[in-house]
Structure 1
Amino acid sequence: MLLHLPTTVSEVQECMAEGAVPIGGATLVWADWQRDGFPALAMSLRDLPEATVIEPEALGAAVVLHRIDDRVPEVLRRAAGTVGTGAVRRTATVGGNIVGSSLRCLLPAALVLDARPTVLGPDRAYETDLAEVVAKRHLLLGLRWRTPTTSGYRKVPAEAGGPPPLVVATAVHADDEGRHHLRVAVRDGYEVLSESASCDEGTDQVLGALERTDIGALRSAARDVVREQVADILDSLSDR
């Protein structure tokens, strides 16, 4: 297998045109390659500046999970810190987790941040939304978002080998007029849903609004965790 390490977007496009297979940390494909054979050409974005950035409002797709620290919002940092084992986090990448993984542990955090992904097409890089990235498995270059007022994350313990653990991510954003809006994303099984509600009228009103969305159709145990997380983040907001 020949591995390309492009350093510019134009070089990445050339690699794509040659049929190079994008890889991150290869944690998701290595076993398959050992069984079925390695591709002739592969490509890593680890030397591409656009894909390795870590900033308060940006994260590159080639960043390995263990490098995600307090430069980014709490919800994203905690999501990355609960993926797999330490060995996995030292090799798995942001792009591999969001695009390549069936669990997509970082997706709920990205959704509540209202993150905008930048992807690379055959002729240009462009900004799109997370739903398109997940559905079409684009080559992700990175994510950008606006810093939330506060955020939170909870992954419920689960038995090894069982269904994926329940994840609830939350973030509060302030609009240009100072009004606050809560975003909630839930991974229950392999499905991820997200909803939002104004949160300037109190916890009971926010919870009532969320119950009238698809969150109200979740199983009762999942709704209990959502209620706890929403109450916690709104309490932290009132302390600011």
Structure 2
Amino acid sequence: MQLRLPASIAEAQRCLAEGAVPIGGATLVWAAWQRDGFPEQALSLRNLPEANVVGSEELGGAVLLHRVDATVPEVLHRAAAGVGTGAVRRTATVGGNIVGSTLRCLLPAALVLDARATVLEPDGVSETDLTELLAKRHLLLALRWRTPLVSGHRKVEGEAGGPPPLVVAAAAHADGDGPGELRVAVRDGYEVLSETTPLAPDADHALHALERTDLGALPAPAREHVREVVTDVLARAGARP
């Protein structure tokens, strides 16, 4: 297998056009390739500057999870810090986790940030939403979002060998002269739910609105975690000057 390491967008496009298969951090594909056979060419974006940025409103798809620090919003930083072991975080990438993994530990955080995806295809670079990113399994160059007022994240400890542990993410966003919005996302098993409600200082009001969405059908323990995360985020948002 030839590993190609493009250093420019144009070079990466040529690799895709010539059939190179994106490899991410190889934490997920390696075992499958050992079982099913290796492709002739693999593509890593680790040398591509556009895929390695870490900023307050942008995160590259090739960034290793251990590099996701407090530069990004709290919800995304804590989500990355909670993935696997330290060894996994030093190998796994943002793009591999969101697009290549069935667990998608970073997806709830990206959803509550209302992130958009910059993707690379053989014929160019474009921007899309997370729904299309996952449906078409695009090659992720970077995520971009608007800075929230406050965000929060909780990953509940799961059972060894059991289903993926519950994840709750929330973010409060300003909206000019309007009331703003509260975005909440939950990973329950392998399913990720995301809902939005107008931002209000009264947590009971926001939680009542969320109960009328699909989040209201979650099991009682999951709804309690949602209540606690939402209450904390709204309290911190209300305390901001």
TM-score, structure 2 normalization: 0.97
Q: Deviations over 1:38-80 (max 9, x none)?
A: 2110010011111000010000000000000011000000000
Match of 1:180 in 2: 180
219-228 or 145-154, larger mean C-alpha shift: 219-228
Tell me, which stretches of 5 or more residues in structure 2 are unaligned?
none
Task: Give how far 1:228 is off.
Answer: 1.1
Q: Deviations over 1:17-52 (max 9, x none)?
A: 111010111000111222222211001001111100
Task: Give how far 1:178 is off.
Answer: 5.4
Match of 1:93 in 2: 93
98-107 or 201-210, larger mean C-alpha shift: 201-210
Q: Distance in 2 between matches of 1:124 and 1:38?
A: 26
**Shift >6 Å, 4+ stretches:** none
Q: Distance in 1 between matches of 2:14 and 2:226?
A: 45
Match of 1:155 in 2: 155
Q: How many residues align?
A: 240
Task: Give how far 1:109 is off.
Answer: 0.2
Match of 1:200 in 2: 200
Relative to 1, partners in 2 of residues 1:201 and 1:84: Cα closer, same or farther, differing over 3 Å? closer
One-letter amino acid of the counterpart of residue 155, structure 1: K
Tell me the percent identity.
69
- Please list, as runs of the form range in 1=range in 2, the aligned pairs for 1:1-240 lying within 5 A after superposition: 1-177=1-177, 179-200=179-200, 202-240=202-240
SS at match of 1:27: coil
Q: Deviations over 1:139-171 (max 9, x none)?
A: 111000011000000001011110100000000
SS at match of 2:97: helix
Q: Deviations over 1:66-118 (max 9, x none)?
A: 00001100000000000000000000000000000000000000000000001
The root-mean-square deviation of aligned C-alpha atoms, in Å, is: 1.0
Q: Distance in 1 between matches of 2:35 and 2:189?
A: 28
TM-score, structure 1 normalization: 0.98
